[in-house]
Amino acid sequence: MEVIKTRTIMTKSDQGNRWFGIDYHMNLYKGCTFGCIYCDSRCESYHIDKFDKIKIKENALEILEEELKGKGLKGVVSFGTLSDPYNPEENTLELTRNALKLILKYGFGVSIDTKSDLILRDIDILKEIAERNSVIIKISITTYDDELARKIEPNVISSTRRFEVLETLRKNGLYAGVLMTPVLPFLTDTEENILNMISKSESADAKFIYTKMGMTLKTNQRDYYYNALDILYPGLKEDYIAVYGKKHICNTLQYRHLMELFFKRCSEAHILTDMDAIIEDYKKEIPKNEQMSLFDETN
């Protein structure tokens, strides 16, 4: 296990809370072993060398606690924007679990992105956090088809299992839904996949499904993805090159039709799809006097 030095753990969101109402970003781990062929965290702009090897940050929890103490705004802290917070090493290291304990201690909210069922281990802490602040959990699922998922996400639990995780979170009263990104052109951009994703999300009582109905293809990410396609689907890379060239944003060719279908079916299922609506639905308003009270309790 490689240990890397760092001076900071939490960073202020630079998107004006637009992305799921997140106030602070945090990644306790660097790299990921899930092997998803499309992962945009491989993009060179993120400066993650040897992405398929997990690295931990030295004194991460101590640094995090000092940073939490110094924040007057008890906002929502995001776990997992660049690497899954529930990678296999978390089983023994428990960095994510201990960070959640600090989030609870200092009265912050939490946003989690994951493909792992290990999150179920931490339901106890997440429920306590939700009593004081906002909690949103995004289960990342790209396809309902377990066989296809095994190819494009080789080291991840099945899609079926991820829907079960979502259902368990919801039964425990936690605000959770599906992050249906990316949607892969020529692979997961079918009516069958979209409709089944919505149906299974509805059965699991998902509060939301968020998608952009496409994918990114940037620098190192593109190279990795195309190499994987050459192995899994020989010839498909040429279709991507013909349609998208060097574009970074690659929306499905059926974008308009699939989005209309997606919105219609989600509306019928009473599943939220709009970012602003999701933020409004899950994010608790913490009164200013309560913010100060929480601050006083920890200083």
Q: What pLDDT does residue 70 have?
A: 87
Pair of tokens at residue 251: 């929306």
Residue 294 lies in a domain: no
CB neighbours of residue 23 within 10 Å: 20
Q: What are phi and psi of 64, to 5 degrees?
A: -60, -45
Q: What pLDDT does residue 285 have?
A: 67
Q: Which domain holds residue 75?
A: 2-283
Q: What pLDDT does residue 83 have?
A: 86
Helix axes 191-203, 159-171, angle to 10 degrees: 30
Q: What pLDDT does residue 48 have?
A: 64
51: domain CATH number is: 3.20.20.70
Query: What does each of the 299 residues of the chain score in pLDDT, given as a tens digit?
Result: 788 888 889 988 876 557 899 999 998 988 889 999 999 877 765 556 677 888 888 899 999 999 999 888 899 999 977 789 999 999 999 999 999 999 999 999 999 999 999 999 999 999 999 999 999 999 999 999 999 999 999 999 999 999 999 999 999 999 999 999 999 999 999 999 999 999 999 999 999 999 999 999 988 899 999 999 999 999 999 999 999 999 999 999 999 999 999 999 999 999 999 999 999 999 976 655 455 444 444 44
Residue 291 lies in a domain: no
Residue 125 lies in a domain: yes
CB neighbours of residue 281 within 10 Å: 14
Residue 137 lies in a domain: yes
Q: Do residues 74 and 294 lie in contact, with contact meaning Cβ atoms separated by under 8 Å? A: yes
Q: How many structural domains compose the chain?
A: 1
Residue 191 lies in a domain: yes
Q: What pLDDT does residue 200 have?
A: 98
Q: What pLDDT does residue 76 have?
A: 95
Q: What pLDDT does residue 17 have?
A: 59
Residue 121 lies in a domain: yes
Q: What pLDDT does residue 44 have?
A: 65
Residue 292 lies in a domain: no
Residue 131 lies in a domain: yes
